[in-house]
Amino acid sequence: MKNRIAAGIVLYNPDDINRVQQCIESVLEQIEHVYIFDNSVQPVQLLKTSQITYVTKANGDEPSCEKVNNVVNSSKVNKNYGIAYALNRIMERAQQDGFDWVLTMDQDSILPSGMIPDFRNRINSDSGRTAIFCPQVIDKRRAYMKAERRDCVVNVEECITSASCTSIQAWKDVGGFDEWLFIDLVDNEFCKRLVSSGYQIKRVNRWVLDQEFGKIIPKSKRSQKFWIRLSQLLHNKNIAKFSYRKYVSPLRVYYTNRNIIYANRKLKAYGPVAYNNYNCKGYLGFIISFNLPSLLRARHKGQVFSAIVRGTFDGLSAHVKLWSPNNE
């Protein structure tokens, strides 16, 4: 039986509309159908050649989608519902339309040519419990990030949502994306539930996605070399992050602090969640490797400190239902 693959793109106030167009075009070259969920406060006006129709919010909680020339479905909500909500609506719609897998993309990511035909072949020949096929992901602005050997497929514990091809059945089995998280660590928490349910995440190393994480400016070549070398000597990957300047968003600091506490409370029976994002093994390491550098780098340190405090409090005080595979 042939597995059908759709794609889903979540928009949120894109700075470069042309880049969004390129993203859509790179996907349509390899996939028959694309769903777009627009989380922007002001609707994104894409070129007419993209054959996108914006559909007003339906009565009730969920936005509606409308089929347009068998090419693009678009959901227009005029409000930011968060990445998890948007992804769930995309997966639901794809399931209704008879698709089996969904490739999720960030609005500014360009899909490597030939990746989806390769993923499709792997999906059709896979006999295991694979939930996600994904590429390697690097940010070329960060000189310390290097692609690994490209002739193998590796089982990994987690992956980012961009350019990941996810089984709708697996998504459904574990209860979908956690919408309370809203934005940060949505992918980490979702992947933890997949792996804890016996699913596999397979990274196909021959494919490499260049993905920009955050607003950063690389320092001089000499400075980059110094910090990367020091990181290697001290065996501490976090030191290499001083090879660039970073804009620190108090809002993202808030959600990161809130969500890392919430996710680890929710999944405490299955081991730590998301700490490896910050090259640490536990909460104390998170404070040292994320909160402290965020304060040091921030232009508005008072706002960032307040975000840390509020995020920590909200993460600790949130009502958490302990998760287990039997809950879904």
Q: What is the 3-state secondary structure (H, E, C) of 28-66?
A: HCCCCCEEEEECCCCCCCCCHHHCCCCECCCCCCCCCCC
- At 175-188, the pLDDT tens digits run 999 999 999 999 99
Tell me: pLDDT of 62 over 60: no
Pair of tokens at residue 46:
């894409």
Tell me: pLDDT of 291 over 50: yes
- At 77-107, the pLDDT tens digits run 567 888 998 899 999 988 988 999 999 998 8
**What is the structure's pLDDT at 151?**
81
**What is the structure's pLDDT at 52?**
38
| CA–CA distance, 168 with 101 (Å, rounded to integer) | 5
The number of beta carbons lying within 10 Å of the beta carbon of residue 136 is 23
Cβ contacts of 231 within 8 Å, gap of 6 or more: 144, 237, 238, 239, 240
- At 36-56, the pLDDT tens digits run 888 887 777 665 544 433 333
**What is the structure's pLDDT at 73?**
54
Strand 200-210 with 130-138, pairing: parallel
Query: Could you give the domains of the chain?
Result: 5-210 (3.90.550.10), 248-327 (no CATH)
Residue type, 149: R
Least confident of 16-25, 73-82, 295-304: 73-82
The number of beta carbons lying within 10 Å of the beta carbon of residue 125 is 7
Cβ contacts of 240 within 8 Å, gap of 6 or more: 142, 144, 227, 228, 231
Tell me: pLDDT of 58 over 50: no
